[in-house]
């Protein structure tokens, strides 16, 4: 019988990684990243009406809220210490049309929601998405003409919608449409209307992903969408192209960058953070949320621990924060 125990010291040269892992206190002492409530942005869905809390089947625990209920949710989020909400409207179907004209109504659902939330809970940040998909009868993020999503006309409409959102009290405009030139045009439109302090969080690298399904159910665009969004979102195969797209957004004046979806795109979080140094956020999208919830409901994973681990990994990958439907659940866990 040969005794090989001495070999380990010889091979490792007495460097043993397990020394720092040996106890809870050592692990806590050397931990490189932390997840805190300050990292959370909570996306919520708004519907017309009052007293409405309408569950979304593919997103257990997430509801469409009428404005009064959204205000209550904002109050709760602020009390939990969540810095900001991201709001998404489920617009009445009869208000949707070919050009998304309801986006240009000052008093539309999303703007009334922003005004109500900022009035009741001024200390919470409100981030408004400014693509046209909640407003179009075809579910695309832009204006559809003869089978094409027309870029420049869409950018003009989105910039006008952004100004109306800022007028209503939005703190941060988040363009998710991926049209060319939108960041620069929105920045100029905001500045020209006295909104110099309204920020822009660009969905800088937004991929043509299959992870958005439950969201499209939540805002009722799933049944409307004709074709796909491949002519404006980035191909999931292309990291370097996505970086170039983000570089243009930085040049045009984006204050913050977002990567979407999150988990399959952690390399993009890292690359954006290294390249630009701007605040980087990941959007853990509806499909990612649904996967965790579904597996947990089947008892196949420990949902709570997977949730916390995934969010921590976004931090390790360089993110400054995460848009996540788990936000209130996580905030409560962190407060324990």
Residues identified as active-site: 206, 260
End-to-end CA distance of the chain: 53
Q: How far is the CB of 262 from ligand PBG (least distance, A)?
A: 10
CA dist., res. 293 & res. 30, Å (int)? 31
Nearer to ligand PBG, 285 or 311 (CB): 285
The tokens for 12 are: 């490792």
Q: Which of 324, 321, 128, 288 is nearest to 212 (CA)?
A: 288
What number of other Cβ atoms are within 10 A of residue 25's Cβ?
Answer: 8
Nearer to ligand PBG, 113 or 285 (CB): 285
Nearer to ligand PBG, 95 or 178 (CB): 178
Positions that interact with ligand PBG (CB under 6 A): 129, 131, 133, 141, 176-177, 212, 215-216, 229, 285-286
Burial 176-191 (b: 16+ CB within 10 A, else e): bbbbeebbbbbbebbe
CB nearest ligand PBG: which residue?
Answer: 215
Q: How far is the CB of 212 from ligand PBG (least distance, A)?
A: 4
CA dist., res. 284 & res. 281, Å (int)? 10
Q: How far is the CB of 329 from ligand PBG (least distance, A)?
A: 16
In the numeric block, the tokens 């999208």 are attached to: 285
DSSP E strands in 234-316: the ranges are 256-260, 280-284
Nearer to ligand PBG, 74 or 149 (CB): 149
Q: How far is the CB of 325 from ligand PBG (least distance, A)?
A: 7
């Amino acid at each position: 019988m040969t005794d090989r125990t001495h070999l380990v010291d010889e091979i490792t040269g007495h460097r043993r990684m397990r020394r720092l892992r040996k106890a809870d206190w050592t692990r806590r002492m050397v931990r490189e990243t932390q997840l805190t409530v300050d990292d959370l942005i909570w996306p919520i869905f708004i519907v017309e009406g009052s007293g409405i809390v309408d569950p979304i089947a593919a997103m257990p625990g997430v509801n469409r809220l009428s404005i009064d209920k959204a205000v209550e949710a904002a109050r709760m989020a602020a009390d939990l210490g969540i810095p900001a909400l991201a709001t998404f409207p489920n617009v009445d179907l009869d208000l949707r049309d070919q050009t998304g004209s309801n986006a240009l109504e000052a008093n539309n659902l999303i703007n009334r929601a922003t005004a109500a939330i900022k009035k009741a809970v001024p200390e919470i940040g409100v981030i408004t998405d400014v693509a046209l998909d909640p407003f179009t009868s075809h579910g695309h993020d832009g204006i559809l003409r003869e089978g094409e999503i027309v870029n420049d006309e869409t950018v003009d409409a989105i910039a006008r919608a952004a100004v109306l959102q800022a007028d209503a009290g939005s703190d941060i405009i988040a363009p998710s449409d991926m049209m060319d030139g939108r960041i620069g045009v929105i920045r100029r439109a905001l500045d020209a209307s006295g909104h110099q302090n309204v920020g822009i969080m660009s969905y800088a690298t937004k991929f043509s992903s299959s992870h958005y399904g439950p969201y499209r159910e939540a805002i009722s665009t799933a049944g409307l969408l004709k074709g796909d969004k491949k002519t404006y979102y980035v191909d999931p195969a292309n990291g370097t192209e996505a970086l170039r797209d983000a570089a243009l957004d930085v040049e045009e004046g984006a204050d913050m960058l977002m990567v979407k979806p999150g988990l399959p795109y952690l390399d993009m979080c890292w690359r954006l953070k290294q390249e630009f140094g701007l605040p980087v956020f990941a959007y853990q999208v509806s499909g990612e949320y649904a996967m965790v919830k579904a597996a947990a409901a089947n008892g196949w994973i420990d949902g709570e621990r997977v949730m916390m681990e995934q969010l921590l990994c976004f931090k390790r990958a360089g993110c400054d924060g995460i848009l996540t439907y788990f936000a209130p659940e996580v905030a409560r866990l962190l407060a324990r």
